[in-house]
Amino acid sequence: MRRKLAAGNWKMNGTSAELDRLATLAERHSAAGCDVLICPPATLLSRAAEALSDSQIALGGQDCHTASTGAHTGDTSAEMLKDAGASHVILGHSERRADHGESDALVRAKSEAAISAGLIAVICLGESLEEREAGQTLEVIGTQLQGSLPDSASGETVVIAYEPVWAIGTGKVPSTEQIGEVHDFIRARLEERFGAETGGSFRILYGGSVKPGNAAEIFAVSNVDGALVGGASLKPQDFGPIIDALAASAG
DSSP state of 142: H
Angle of CA points 176, 173, 251, to nearest 5°: 50
Question: What is the arithmetic mean of pLDDT over 137-142?
Answer: 98
- Give the start-to-end residue ranges of the domains of the chain: 5-249
**For the chain, percent of residues with pLDDT exceeding 70:** 99
Question: What is the arithmetic mean of pLDDT over 220-239?
Answer: 96
Catalytic residues: 93, 163
Number of H helices, E strands in the chain: 11, 8
Average pLDDT over the chain, rounded to whole?
Answer: 95
What per-residue confidence (pLDDT) applies to 211? Answer: 92
DSSP, collapsed to helix, strand or coil, labels residue 4 as: coil
Residue type, 2: R
What's the rounded Cα separation, in Å, for the pair 61 and 119? 10
Strand pairing partners for 120? 88
Domain 5-249 matching CATH 3.20.20.70: the answer reads yes
DSSP, collapsed to helix, strand or coil, labels residue 130 as: helix
- Give the confidence band of 213 by pLDDT, cuts at 50, 70, 90: very high
Question: What is the arithmetic mean of pLDDT over 91-103?
Answer: 97
Q: What are 31-78's pLDDT values in tens digits? A: 668 999 999 999 999 999 999 998 999 999 999 999 999 999 999 999
